[in-house]
Structure 1
Amino acid sequence: MKSSLTKVILKVLAAIGLFGLLTMWLWNMLLPDIFGLPEISLFQSIGLLVLTRLLFGGFGVLRDMGHFMARKERQAIFASWHSMTPEQRAEFIARARSRGGKKLFANAENAEE
């Protein structure tokens, strides 16, 4: 078990180093000539990768948790919808439409689920 964990850690560090080298090489080959920016080091390129991942991509675990939470919230909404009486559903639809949900509830009267 310990050796497999060590292998995983080494592979992750190698991937980070490889992507860092690639980013550093691309930056140093293109951006100083095009935009007049200074060249960057390996650690700066790894920091740039982390920054862009945080700003634009998020981290996979956090993103997956967001989908999980959205699914749980959606299930809770469906459960509460099914427990409503037809009068409560009509009231809910009227309130949603008054708040601008006209497209969302366009066919809600016909839906019996």
Structure 2
Amino acid sequence: MNVWKLRAKFMLNMTGGICMIALVVGIVMWLWNWLVPSITGWSNINYWQALGLTLLFRFLNGNILPPMFHIKKRGSFEKMKKMSVEERSAFIRRQLSRLSHEDIDNEKA
């Protein structure tokens, strides 16, 4: 893939991620300001306080990292232990081609 395409894809993903975080924080702030003051009499919160509450909620639930960074439970490792060398090589090639969106089997060794 072209370097510029990779950079553009990275920037698009970063922008999308920042927009998603801003949206979630905005929803938390809106829900808090809509529900909590009328129920408990507590005061309204601003955007930064809502960001802090969102982070606190993620920490308390054990979801500190975004879903893309969670480590899989060694399922691939257990599968590969039971494979022959040829099957393992084919499995790795399939995984790499899926990640790179290219046909690795056609590359010369």
Task: Give the TM-score taking structure 2 as reference length.
Answer: 0.55
Over the matched positions of the two proteins, sequence identity in percent amounts to 28
Tell me how large the CA RMSD over aligned residues is.
Answer: 2.1
Match of 2:13 in 1: 8
Please list every run of 5 or more consecutive structure 1 residues that lacks an aligned counterpart in the other structure.
76-113
Cα deviations by residue, 1:41-90 (Å, 9 ceiling, x for unpaired)? 1121112111100111423435x36x44xx7xxx8xxxxxxxxxxxxxxx
Letter in 2 for 1:43: W
Letter in 1 for 2:49: Q
Q: How does 1:1-113 map to 2 (within 5 A)?
A: 1-58=6-63, 59=65, 60=67, 61-62=69-70, 64=71, 67-68=73-74
Q: CA deviation at 1:20?
A: 0.8
Q: Distance in 1 between matches of 2:13 and 2:52?
A: 21
* Paired residue total: 69
Runs of 4+ in 1 over 2 A off after TM superposition: 59-62
Letter in 2 for 1:46: L
User: Who wins on radius of gyration, i.e. which is larger?
Assistant: 1
Please list every run of 5 or more consecutive structure 2 residues that lacks an aligned counterpart in the other structure.
1-5, 79-109
Q: Which has the higher contact order (CA 8 A, sep 6+)?
A: 1
